[in-house]
Amino acid sequence: IGKIYLSGLSLNSASELIKSKIKSAFIGTDAFISLDQIRDIQIFITGGVNFPGIYTLNGNSHLLHALNVSGGISEDGSFREIEIKRNGKTINSIDLYEALILGDTSFNVPLKSGDTIFVKPAQKLVRVSGALNNIGIFELKEDETFEDLVNFAGGFSRLAKDSQELILNRLKKGKYESSVISIMDFKDTYVLNGD
């Protein structure tokens, strides 16, 4: 049937191509394709991870697997800005909140040997506590407001009898100042690093 070039194809695409070539060359014949071995790949992981370096991974590895192998994102690393670079060019910029909070894993591009994963430093970290479903520290982008923060925190919990306002503690000139933010102002009020 001649040469079949499979470089860059997924297993399903390669399988379909091989099956169609065999079917056209040998009428009435079906092919069954399986993968015997997957070649290992080497990935360079750098930036805000706990153990940066070069890692040898399974050929089926993706971003989350690579980050796990490198010890995860460090305290100073960004969950919102992770770049995958190939041949010196950024091929994908990933916001992990899309997967971890919103459940969207469509960013999962297969990694190739020689790729670099660069975790940028976190810019704006905000701590939330109280009557929200998920308390902790969240990272916000420049254009995100209190409404986004409440959404990331899973909204108000059932313990919140009156979810019409939040108390904002902001560091100004070395002292924390408290103010009340109404739910009506959530869309128009921006958070600052350390709030």
For 122-156, how does the pLDDT look when each residue is reduced to its tens digit (9 = 90+)? 999 999 998 888 999 999 999 999 899 989 998 88
Cα radius of gyration rounded to whole Å, the chain: 24
Comparing 102 with 17, the larger pLDDT belongs to 17
User: Two tokens at 66?
Assistant: 């690579």
Q: How far is CA 39 from CA 7, 59, 112, in A?
A: 13, 5, 10
Q: The pTM is what?
A: 0.76
User: Two tokens at 133?
Assistant: 């479903």
Q: What pLDDT does residue 85 have?
A: 95
For 7-31, how does the pLDDT look when each residue is reduced to its tens digit (9 = 90+)? 878 888 999 999 999 988 888 888 8
User: Two tokens at 179?
Assistant: 């103010």
Q: How confident is the model at residue 33 (pLDDT cuts 50, 70, 90)?
A: confident
Tell me how far apart the alpha carbons of residues 74 and 77 are, in angstroms, rounded to a whole number.
5
- Furthest-apart CA pair in the chain: how many Å? 81
Tell me how far apart the alpha carbons of residues 79 and 171 are, in angstroms, rounded to a whole number.
24
User: Two tokens at 185?
Assistant: 């102002």
Q: How confident is the model at residue 74 (pLDDT cuts 50, 70, 90)?
A: very high
